[in-house]
Structure 1
Amino acid sequence: MVLSVDSRLNDAVIPPCVLAGLVEIGQREGLEVTGWCAGTGVTPAQLVTSESIKVSFRQAATILRRAVRAMPGRPLGMEIGRRDVLLTYGILGVAMQSCATGAEALVVGLELQLAAGSLIDVNAEVIGAELVLSLHERAPEPELVTFLCEDVFCSTLLLVRSVFGADTSPKYIELVYPQPTYERQYRYFFGCPVRFDGYANRMVFDSSVLTDTLPTHHEPTRAVAVEACRRLLDLDGPRPDIIVAIEALLSQNLRQPVTMAEVAKHLHVTERTLRRQLTDAGESFSAVRNRVRERRATFLLRKSTMTVDAISREVGFTDAREFRRAYIRWTGNIPTHQRRKS
């Protein structure tokens, strides 16, 4: 299924927090979670354990769709959204909790919302005495809208309650989809009227929350957490998901370099398709592989005491002289130049 011609849907900018939660649920229940990731370029292990990997909307939607189909008829979005605030919002939650007022927290949350890993966009506006948080799909995903709304609204309310108290509730919630069989769980968790088959997906609070002082305010923590969120969202700019997937795979196999054919097999595409995707991204397989090797070699030269010969083997060269020549091509300097710089 083609989601959109919008190339932004293929940019790997989304931390896999939500996906990791689903994979962990599936693993606990003995489901075959590997199939959820087939053809996406990422693995369940990467989603759960990697601190650096990010995915595109296309990748995430594919995995989410398969997970929802594997566990039908249950409040999966609520299960993910009701986890601990650090699991649902991560470092963004810390940043928002540390703000001075509700209004400042809202500005931070809206600016850096991608850091929470959601696949649906949050907008906010004040209408009279109400603060209206509305959700908007990035691409039409009828199978996922229930999950996405449950996740964001549950995690948002959890964050609000972590600051203002467990008895805090919205004034009401409106949702575009039909009432699910577990509707009672909505009313129990949200503690407010919930309207289904509505015209919009929105959660409404009293606007006074914007002027309230946050008891968890701590400016140094806020500054550090905001900067961490910005780093998480990649200051170098988004990259196509196929490039991120290939780099991740190559990084895991540097000592015994994999071929382009092996990468294509791992990604469940033909070698011809992989070459075309690389061309579309303005890349070549050798350029990506060399970048991964150079990045790892430079790190080891600067941060370790390994010999140049050992580093050459670490990044997949059997001949240290070949590594030295390659490093000069990549950087314009001999390997020991980096060691002197450190």
Structure 2
Amino acid sequence: MAEHDDPRLNQAVIPPSVLAGIVEIGQREGLPIVSWFSGTGLDPAQIVTSGTVRVSFRQAAAVLRRAVRAMPGRPLGMQVGGRDLLISFGMLGVAMRSCATAGDALALALELHQASGTLLDVEAETFGQEVALRLHERGPDPELVAFLCEEALCSTLVFIRSMFGADWAPTCVELTYPAPPYAERYRRFFRCPVRFGADANRVVFAAALLRQTFPTHYEPTRAVAVDACRRLLDLDDARPDITVAVEALLNRNLRHPLTMTEAAHHLHVTERTLRRQLTAAGERYSAIRDRVRERRATFLLRESALSIDAIAHEIGFSDAREFRRAYIRWTGHPPSATRKA
């Protein structure tokens, strides 16, 4: 399945924790990570530092493919997935640690796993006295399957070992892809048989684990964290990634408004491509630009003591009269009415 065939893969709803991990590795290696983001509309600096950025599957996959090509033959997914629990899982990790039992945490992970930023889907399978977590790709991608499975499986084991001790090991791990050059690292990390060329990507463990209680159980924290995860995944607010990318770009350049040609240059695409992508998303560049300017102007009118002239300059107007006319067109009333309200 091509990424553009499924509109859900173009929705900017994924927390960029996995991308932040690969960016940090690239920065340590001194690699030209900016080139990994070409054409995606994403800013690598914001990926690492912003807590509000969301990305689409299409954007994340494009960056990760370039990163994997830049660092071939390395256990990159293991490095990203092996980070601190709260870095990998974020608020979902807080919610899971606050559950009463491992079974409750698993049920929560199955419901809200996308809140951790994973690019795979997860389901549970039962085999007699054993349970398996099965990982599904959102679209076949031979270049990324090893990285994505490594990240998901390693972060899962980091979580379980944080609760039950560093010696915990699953029954086995099964993977659909051929053994990578560093396959021995899998066996050292998982501490169980690892089978490559299997029919599915899964980790198997004793069902008795699900009955184990968590010493960190605290219901008030669990409730707050679960609510935060659900709000994070509110798909009613999901927007196409190109819309999010253009809005972010225009927000960063409010004082010096960009033409569509300049925006396309910043996003490393042609103007024709940008126009086509916006049309497919049901957007126009001028409408996004007006929306961004109106939102910032309204905030400044309500929350700051800046003069109307100063606010006009803040959002890229050289003349306050021009700003007033635009604001009336956007909202139906002059800036002074918003300020008085």
In the superposition, the TM-score normalised over structure 2's length comes to 0.94
Change (3 A) 1:100 1:26: same
Change (3 A) 1:340 1:255: same
State the SS of the aligned residue for 1:168. Answer: coil
In structure 2, give the amino acid aligned to 1:5. Answer: D
1:1-342 pair list within 5 angstroms? 2-234=2-234, 236-341=236-341
More divergent stretch after superposition (207-216 vs 54-63): 207-216
State the SS of the aligned residue for 2:135. Answer: strand
More divergent stretch after superposition (287-296 vs 224-233): 224-233
In structure 2, give the amino acid aligned to 1:92. Answer: L
**Structure 1 segments unaligned to the other structure (5+ residues):** none
Following the alignment from structure 2 to structure 1, what is the Cα–Cα distance between the partners of residues 138 and 235? Answer: 22
Following the alignment from structure 1 to structure 2, what is the Cα–Cα distance between the partners of residues 184 and 155? Answer: 18
Change (3 A) 1:332 1:217: farther
In structure 2, give the amino acid aligned to 1:30. Answer: G
Following the alignment from structure 2 to structure 1, what is the Cα–Cα distance between the partners of residues 75 and 49? Answer: 25
> Following TM superposition, by how much is the alpha carbon of 1:338 offset from its aligned partner in structure 2, in angstroms?
4.1
**Cα contact 2:4–2:10 (8 A) shared by 1:** no
> Following TM superposition, by how much is the alpha carbon of 1:181 offset from its aligned partner in structure 2, in angstroms?
2.2
> Following TM superposition, by how much is the alpha carbon of 1:236 offset from its aligned partner in structure 2, in angstroms?
3.9
In structure 1, give the amino acid aligned to 2:140. Answer: P
> Following TM superposition, by how much is the alpha carbon of 1:336 offset from its aligned partner in structure 2, in angstroms?
4.3
Change (3 A) 1:108 1:325: farther
> Following TM superposition, by how much is the alpha carbon of 1:208 offset from its aligned partner in structure 2, in angstroms?
1.9
> Following TM superposition, by how much is the alpha carbon of 1:312 offset from its aligned partner in structure 2, in angstroms?
2.2
State the SS of the aligned residue for 2:3. Answer: coil
Following the alignment from structure 2 to structure 1, what is the Cα–Cα distance between the partners of residues 89 and 70? Answer: 25
> Following TM superposition, by how much is the alpha carbon of 1:337 offset from its aligned partner in structure 2, in angstroms?
4.3
Deviation per CA, 1:8-57: give whole Å up to 9, x if none: 11111111111111111111111111111111111221222222221111
Change (3 A) 1:20 1:309: same
More divergent stretch after superposition (162-171 vs 286-295): 162-171
Following the alignment from structure 1 to structure 2, what is the Cα–Cα distance between the partners of residues 270 and 79? Answer: 35
> Following TM superposition, by how much is the alpha carbon of 1:92 offset from its aligned partner in structure 2, in angstroms?
1.1
**Cα contact 1:301–1:338 (8 A) shared by 2:** yes
Give the total of aligned pairs.
Answer: 341
More divergent stretch after superposition (61-70 vs 7-16): 7-16
More divergent stretch after superposition (328-337 vs 142-151): 328-337
> Following TM superposition, by how much is the alpha carbon of 1:215 offset from its aligned partner in structure 2, in angstroms?
1.1
> Following TM superposition, by how much is the alpha carbon of 1:235 offset from its aligned partner in structure 2, in angstroms?
5.4
> Following TM superposition, by how much is the alpha carbon of 1:234 offset from its aligned partner in structure 2, in angstroms?
4.2
Identity of aligned residues (%): 65
Following the alignment from structure 1 to structure 2, what is the Cα–Cα distance between the partners of residues 18 and 130? Answer: 29
Following the alignment from structure 2 to structure 1, what is the Cα–Cα distance between the partners of residues 124 and 95? Answer: 18
Deviation per CA, 1:93-138: give whole Å up to 9, x if none: 1111111222221222122211111111111133321121001110
**Structure 2 segments unaligned to the other structure (5+ residues):** none
State the SS of the aligned residue for 1:176. Answer: coil
Following the alignment from structure 1 to structure 2, what is the Cα–Cα distance between the partners of residues 297 and 257? Answer: 14
Following the alignment from structure 2 to structure 1, what is the Cα–Cα distance between the partners of residues 299 and 246? Answer: 19
Change (3 A) 1:125 1:298: farther
Following the alignment from structure 1 to structure 2, what is the Cα–Cα distance between the partners of residues 324 and 225? Answer: 43
> Following TM superposition, by how much is the alpha carbon of 1:263 offset from its aligned partner in structure 2, in angstroms?
0.6
In the superposition, the TM-score normalised over structure 1's length comes to 0.94
State the SS of the aligned residue for 1:112. Answer: helix
Change (3 A) 1:100 1:320: farther
Following the alignment from structure 1 to structure 2, what is the Cα–Cα distance between the partners of residues 293 and 108? Answer: 39
State the SS of the aligned residue for 2:173. Answer: strand
Change (3 A) 1:299 1:127: farther
> Following TM superposition, by how much is the alpha carbon of 1:302 offset from its aligned partner in structure 2, in angstroms?
3.3
Following the alignment from structure 2 to structure 1, what is the Cα–Cα distance between the partners of residues 303 and 192? Answer: 54
